[in-house]
Structure 1
């Protein structure tokens, strides 16, 4: 058992033996106040000069993580993998890909992070494995081996069957076509033929990522055991990838068509029978029960793309017994997401009123989407707008998650030529779908060669062209930089009682340009954000109080002496404490 686990288990044993402390302090689980940094290991720091980031590179920069002010890191997959989907095709759940290091390197990273009071979350892919995983290679070999039913197999339909769709007709083998119209999220049919079995297997994603059969109890046991392997090594929890896709309709009914086509030229579908089936919640309850047997408030974070905030409620469980933190991706990535005070006010209000008191986890940046500085920028005021996004993320009453490079304003560097694309999504979908390389370029540490990411000029993706000005070293030296803004807000989030624990009250709620709310407490904090390119007056309803500026994106606000009547400069943020 990891030393940290032994220590915590020892405390639990003292309690069961009737021993108590002089005073009992009830504290929230650490994750309720967490500030999480997603790290993409390939792109964070290269310690051995091969052009690809690795675990030792992450360990070497843990002090930078501490200086930023986050208290949790989430590592995208670092397991052995053919890297078809850059690690999300896992070939061994209990080891480390040699490209990134060794198990000893992982143990050292966890230990060094904990020494700095940084929690470590791992990405866990439960829906599928690599087609090079020993389980699948055994399963694909025949219909009567011990792993034969570990994946989703089907005989298919006769090619001449009525109702066969054009997509199915493109996939004929031995007179058979796939059993339905289900699609891979990366284009084409979700079914691939294996001659040895004379059957199709199902893959929600790439053909090299066959879906596990979660209706087989042996699969659940094997996957839970893999998670125990890492929990025993001291990880603080998991981010669960594509968690809604674990189950498929056992009748294999066609997903209804919605009209139009996607970037791959396939019909748009309503994934009614291939996503978000109710059985997934049974698994989440059992998984949560297993994780809860470990000390230290281990946490489950879910990748949960939902169309409304209310749709997140079932993911918490009826008795808070499923995910502690389903991701709220709607404000940042939802249909119609825009840089607009009304848009964000509505979604922040929904998070306060529709989640039955549970913590929201806001996400504006990740490895699958163009960076928020580009999505919410206007090409002229990008950094000023990024300060507002940072304030939304770090002063609301939820858990915050950001992405490497976002605190310095790294931009999306989308390839301009198909021959430069590394992401298979971009290769198959070009030019409508250019892939996800643009948001995964190497971390920009300094203005030196390869931005300080690697000593090798041939990095796995090119370093973004703006690295000489957009980098950690330059921004640490500039008191007015975006990085210093993040550091200030993260420090306030950690140390200010109202920002840490206070309720959230919205004021001036009809204002189309200014978003304002109060974080309640003995000394309340008001947060005001002007989304407009023009000056706007503040109407907070809190006039006449003594005020103290905690953070201001414009120097004029630091000189203000009153709340109501103060003019907010264009694209500005003001965070101020006051006495009622």
Structure 2
């Protein structure tokens, strides 16, 4: 492989709690993953990204870590992890760990020591502050609602938690904290893992002095990313990690930084190879286009032009320096076919394939979230009690306490809640979709009776086989890695189109993202272009005219030159 092998790779994210349960307790585990590796090999992916399996109280489903060097018993053991890693490598795939180091669990020994007294050597490993005028040290709000500060009666100070109160933030300004994180990363690399996805990693350097966030009317506490993200030392810290952890180490590794609020200009710095920080970042612009000013659950519906331009902006900004990640779904996002597609109609499969086509044709490394390759949909949530995610529960409680619009809140939760991504993987039409022999921790979507892996593996023209074909193209066509990117029809509210060009050859990616048929005028160079991939049966093998007739949710990739 080349040093930048990840540019032609496709990554598959597993949310272990919901992937496959081998023990019958209703929670997915490492044994379940091992039993499904041949499925992933059949799909054709190169890398598996594993959401956290570390020991944890599971307040935030594993993103609250109490021991970075152990596996939580709910998922298995270190021996099972080693077996998983061996099986992954035997199949020619790589395994990436999820690294959560902006914060720990409040049950982590580091925080237990820090909390024990004001003069404990680990006190400054976290952010402790005195009250201000009898209240919180500043007006920062938690992303999970309420204040970002928790009072500790034993030591008479507040500690900072940008997420849940049981997820205290680490103080990266302390050199011993950075050394401890490096030790954790080295420990896992020595065990054989192939890299890290780093959770909210642009939050690790806080604004000096922790000043108040810009006030928002009617909000006591403000979850302002501008105050939390891209602090004064973040580039320094990431370069240090890369240098000290990966420097001189043989192997082919990948690093991805999740970065809420990051701009294209900042991402160029984070992913510039000359700076040695990260291979790529996860940005959030394109998965925020349907949200209003009141936050992520303020659902406003999709404007395709805004969505296209958001992704185009990133394609062009990182064209010469840096690298994009390409994703629709992950454990924090609702199902794309329900969000941007057409999941409740005859166009379910076509829209799932069309959205996959326009994403995988772009420049960057594609990420597939479990079940996305089947076109899994959002769960039919109806009430507040249907939701189990901490963020959703806290949000709805906050709406009720403020006397807000609970009906609108339920609409937003049903559409955007993270629970949508976390319902169990739909393996077959049997009880609990083949996920578990027990009682699943989160209900299985009722549509598993027809939407499942077994059914699609038996079909020649399923969503699964379309993803297989897209992954093959990523591997076989260098132009998808190296070709330049030119958007077409940018202001068209229904057609998504762009070209990829290289010194030898060019591709046209075009999709009708709506039910109504459309006729689109294309350049003469595409007459007689070969159809590399289409998502509807019966599409002609070549384009025979400058007038391209597209049926509803019709997506195609043509090759010319």
Q: How far is 1:285 from its partner?
A: 0.8
Task: Name the stretch that deviates more: 537-546 or 331-340.
Answer: 331-340
Q: Of residues 268, 281, 285 in structure 1, which corresponds to 2:235?
A: 281
Task: Name the stretch that deviates more: 410-419 or 486-495.
Answer: 410-419
Q: Of residues 67, 75, 89 in structure 2, which corresponds to 1:92?
A: 67
Residues 295-314 of structure 1, C-alpha deviations (whole Å, 9 max, x = no match): 22312101112364334223
Residues 491-521 of structure 1, C-alpha deviations (whole Å, 9 max, x = no match): 1221233334333334455644323223334
Task: Name the stretch that deviates more: 435-444 or 207-216.
Answer: 435-444
- The answer to whether the aligner puts 1:324 opposite 2:305 as a matched pair is no
TM-score (norm 2): 0.89
Cα contact 2:258–2:281 (8 A) shared by 1: yes
Q: How far is 1:28 from its partner?
A: 4.8
Cα contact 1:329–1:364 (8 A) shared by 2: no
Q: Of residues 433, 443, 466 in structure 2, which corresponds to 1:451?
A: 433
5+ residue gaps, structure 1? 1-25, 160-176
Task: Name the stretch that deviates more: 381-390 or 212-221.
Answer: 381-390
1:181 counterpart residue number: 139
> Which structure's CA Rg is the greater one?
1
1:349 counterpart residue number: 312
Q: How far is 1:561 from its partner?
A: 4.5
The secondary structure found in structure 1 opposite 2:202 is: helix
The secondary structure found in structure 2 opposite 1:47 is: coil
Q: Of residues 477, 480, 501 in structure 2, which corresponds to 1:499?
A: 480
1:557 counterpart residue number: 539
Cα contact 1:258–1:270 (8 A) shared by 2: no
1:224 counterpart residue number: 182
Q: For the residues of structure 2 that align with 1:64 and 1:267, how far apart are their CA atoms? A: 46
Count of aligned residue pairs for this structure pair: 532
1:47 counterpart residue number: 22
- The answer to whether the aligner puts 1:427 opposite 2:390 as a matched pair is no
The secondary structure found in structure 2 opposite 1:567 is: strand
Please give the root-mean-square deviation of Cα atoms over the aligned residues, in Å.
Answer: 2.3
The secondary structure found in structure 2 opposite 1:301 is: strand
1:243 counterpart residue number: 201
Change (3 A) 1:202 1:512: closer
1:400 counterpart residue number: 366
Q: Of residues 496, 502, 510 in structure 2, which corresponds to 1:528?
A: 510
Q: For the residues of structure 1 that align with 2:48 and 2:113, how far apart are their CA atoms? A: 35
Q: For the residues of structure 2 that align with 1:341 and 1:422, how far apart are their CA atoms? A: 31
Q: For the residues of structure 2 that align with 1:535 and 1:508, how far apart are their CA atoms? A: 16
Cα contact 1:543–1:562 (8 A) shared by 2: no
Q: Of residues 466, 491, 504 in structure 2, which corresponds to 1:485?
A: 466
1:295 counterpart residue number: 250
Residues 444-478 of structure 1, C-alpha deviations (whole Å, 9 max, x = no match): 0111111111111x111111110011100001112
> What does residue range 455-466 of structure 1 map to in structure 2 within 5 Å?
455-456=437-438, 458-466=439-447
Cα contact 2:527–2:543 (8 A) shared by 1: no
Q: For the residues of structure 1 that align with 2:110 and 2:491, how far apart are their CA atoms? A: 57
Q: How far is 1:253 from its partner?
A: 1.5
Q: How far is 1:563 from its partner?
A: 5.1
The secondary structure found in structure 1 opposite 2:107 is: coil
The secondary structure found in structure 2 opposite 1:349 is: helix
1:519 counterpart residue number: 500
Q: Of residues 243, 264, 267 in structure 2, which corresponds to 1:309?
A: 264
5+ residue gaps, structure 2? 292-299, 397-405
2:325 counterpart residue number: 361
Q: For the residues of structure 1 that align with 2:524 and 2:32, how far apart are their CA atoms? A: 48
Q: For the residues of structure 1 that align with 2:488 and 2:154, how far apart are their CA atoms? A: 65
TM-score (norm 1): 0.86
The secondary structure found in structure 1 opposite 2:440 is: coil
Task: Name the stretch that deviates more: 350-359 or 460-469.
Answer: 350-359
Cα contact 1:255–1:271 (8 A) shared by 2: no
